[in-house]
A and B are shown apart, each in its own frame.
Chain A
Amino acid sequence: MSIFCKVPQAAPVAVFKLTQDFTKDQFPTKVNLGVGAYRTDEGQTWVLPVVKRAEKIIVSDDRLNHEYLPILGLPEFRSSVSRIALGDDSPAIQENRVGAVQCLGGTGALRIGAEFLRCFYNGNNNTKTPIYVSAPTWENHGAVFTSAGFQDIRPYKYWDAQTRGLDFVGFLSDLESCPERSIFVLHACAHNPTGTDPTQDQWKQIAQVMMRRKLFVFFDFAYQGFASGNLENDAWALRYFVSRGFELFCAQSFSKNFGLYNERVGNLTIVSRDTDNLKRVLSQMEMIVRTTWSNPPSQGARVVALTLTSPELFSEWKDNVKTMADRILLMRSQLKAKLQALGTPGTWDHITEQIGMFSFTGLNPKQVEYLVKEKHIYLMSSGRINMCGLTTKNIDYVAESIHEAVTVVQ
């Protein structure tokens, strides 16, 4: 008898199943709006030119080898990516109270941060501290914190389906009514899946409440540069919180803005009150990393570090990122224009008001099913579309199909 004979089949990850179904579909004008990565206007993957250049430099540099990286990761990577998040002139960096842990993607950074918090935040091994994630949020957030041992994952109000915008009042009220010291996972920019971010004023109010109620700030920062096309703008919320004196964690991902999805390039930036506290925190982070993956992989980190620390490459990277962001902005404005031109019922302003890779269209599950089954347009049942799946060649078909879905299906 196998010891595994009672293991149930786990449900497939929705977004990957969607892509699988899309791949099997033979329909000639099928469209995948569930894809989780950037696509060019030709519908192709895009290895950033600056990444290709950096990789060539690295592979021909005979001084480099494959020795183990330090447990906390490549030093040049850690310092340059924390710097890009917090700003060159960040007082926190100058005061030596910013630390970093190179992690396996944004997921790895979230996991390491979550493990640390479970061990040491709000008492020792306090698995009952509530974790608040936005309603809706990236579908893996809950699983990461649960796996780290937290028992109480709760939603905070975020998306307002009626207004197709942020339920700011609801958000604030959850901040006011939650237990003190709760942990909040905040999307630094380009909220996934809604694409709806708080305004600067709203962020200021959020920060005020969180400071007063002693809530822990854990930023998920996966789209720096990718959202507005500008690195500084996308980092505004994070930098604001730091300037208000918060101690916080920030899980950074370079999957999207460097197109390094499969190299697993992430970083956990830690902002602490002072150097002494930081030192002890990092020592515990080392212990956690050691029993998770021991040492991180160097390939992707080297590309990012080289790019960020070479003026020419850095400049080229910013251009590459702007190219991606601009294409998305173009698709947003074109989709909205076409839906308005078609006279599609409903308001479509949210398509251009939302930011980043994703848009919460507001389509209901029945309308989504119609699109998938009848029109071979694949999107998540939540109505989330990936703007990168749109191209100048398919946008008409998509707009017409959305029009049909909204008018035919209620």
Chain B
Amino acid sequence: MRLGAELLRHWYDVNAAWCGPVYLSSPCDDSLAGIFQAAGIQDIREYYYWDDKQRDICLDKLLEDLETAPEQSVVVLAASAHCPTGADLSQNQWAVITQLILRRRLFPFLMLPAQALCYGDLERDAWPVQLCASNGIELLCAQSFSHCFGLYGEAVGHLLCVLKHNSLLLSVQSQADKIVKSLWSQPSVGGARVVATVLSNPAHLVEWQGEVKHIVERCMLIREVLRERLRLLGTPGCWDHLTQQRGLYCCMGLNGQQVEFLSKWRHVYLLPSGCLNVSAINGRNLSYVAESIHLALTTSL
């Protein structure tokens, strides 16, 4: 993300001396704004994304916000596995958004933080990237292999850049090299070797996809079981989104007070936005967690 932000700050439309704005989803990973600011871009704005009441993305409000974004704004969008809500745009919604991007001349900075972890399908999770590219849209895409390879501690990331013309490739690459040189000189090899070895070997690739499917299936199972448990408890609200959405993260739609209640009185810790990591729920704590959520929503606070 940092490399992409620096590349944009230095080179997005040399003539226009571009310095923003950058649009981030509401909510988003709390380190994103800081990353753009560290790269020297101060104009950070939000676009509507997660709606607590609908417990889903509100496309209308999202489109409204992007419609009013100045031309040449950069829009950070999650291709899949949105953090922290777990709510992803559907293929239809992506089709509408790409038309808006083209019409309003916006620049998409896509995030692919956990490819294959949503549907167990590499292609499906990356579909928005392919859609933009096939529409002739220039884009940056920040990929992470932390989750889908479990290589969190090896800092394995990749910045993909799709350009309009092949003739620009060398110059953009050379400028990216220059930026990297003054950040960390060269990247570390350990995790990259593992990923490259797996992806370039058919047998390893199949094995890896199988292992990722295990993660996906476990997450789906937890979502189903949690939803069922809340239904049995009679917990107020609609919990369909738990199983309609995919991946590691899920937004419970709890407000700040309810989140505080959970941590203070039940020792159950969620992100301040009310989002949680589904894989942290297991056979031993499921009952307790479900009860706690129930209490948070039914106790008058």
Contacts and interface: CB of A to CB of B under 8 A. Distances in A.
A69 interface: yes
A58 B197 CA distance: 19
Contact of A294 (B31, B150, B178): B31
Nearest to B10: A7
Contacts of B155: 104, 293-297
Contacts of B181: 13, 107, 140, 143
Given A2-B138, A140-B182, A297-B191, A66 B171 contact: no
B184 A293 contact: yes
A6 B14 contact: yes
B172 to A, nearest CB: 5
A280 B141 CA distance: 35
Contacts of B188: 104, 262-264, 297, 299-300
Contacts of B2: 291-293
A149 B182 CA distance: 11
Interface string A1-16: 1111111111011000
A161 interface: no
Interface string A58-70: 0000000111110
B107 interface: yes
A66 B152 contact: yes
B129 to A, nearest CB: 18
Contacts of A3: 12-13, 72, 107, 138
A291 B35 contact: yes
Contacts of B138: 2-4
Nearest to A303: B190
A297 B238 CA distance: 41
B168 A2 contact: yes
Given A7-B14, A143-B182, A263 B190 contact: yes
Contact of A69 (B31, B153, B191): B153
A99 to B, nearest CB: 20
A287 B38 CA distance: 10
Interface in B1-54: 2, 11-15, 31, 34-35, 37-38, 40
Interface residues of B, number: 46
Interface in A1-48: 1-10, 12-13
A147 interface: yes
Interface string B163-188: 11100101110110111011111111
Interface string A257-280: 000001110000000000000000
Contact of A300 (B31, B183, B190): B190
Contact of A68 (B152, B172, B191): B152
B189 A9 contact: no
Interface in A92-149: 103-108, 111, 115, 140, 143-144, 146-147, 149
A1 B154 CA distance: 38
A249 to B, nearest CB: 17
B225 interface: no
Contacts of A10: 171, 174-175, 177-178
B172 A7 contact: yes
Nearest to A6: B14
Contacts of B187: 104, 264
Contacts of B252: none
Contacts of A69: 153
A89 to B, nearest CB: 32
Interface of B: 2, 11-15, 31, 34-35, 37-38, 40, 72, 107, 138, 146, 150-156, 163-165, 168, 170-172, 174-175, 177-179, 181-191
9 contacts: A2-B138, A4-B172, A6-B15, A66-B152, A107-B184, A262-B186, A291-B31, A292-B2, A297-B156
Q: What 3 A-B pairs are tightest by C-beta distance, nearest first?
A: A299-B190, A104-B184, A2-B164
Interface of A: 1-10, 12-13, 65-69, 103-108, 111, 115, 140, 143-144, 146-147, 149, 262-264, 287-288, 290-300
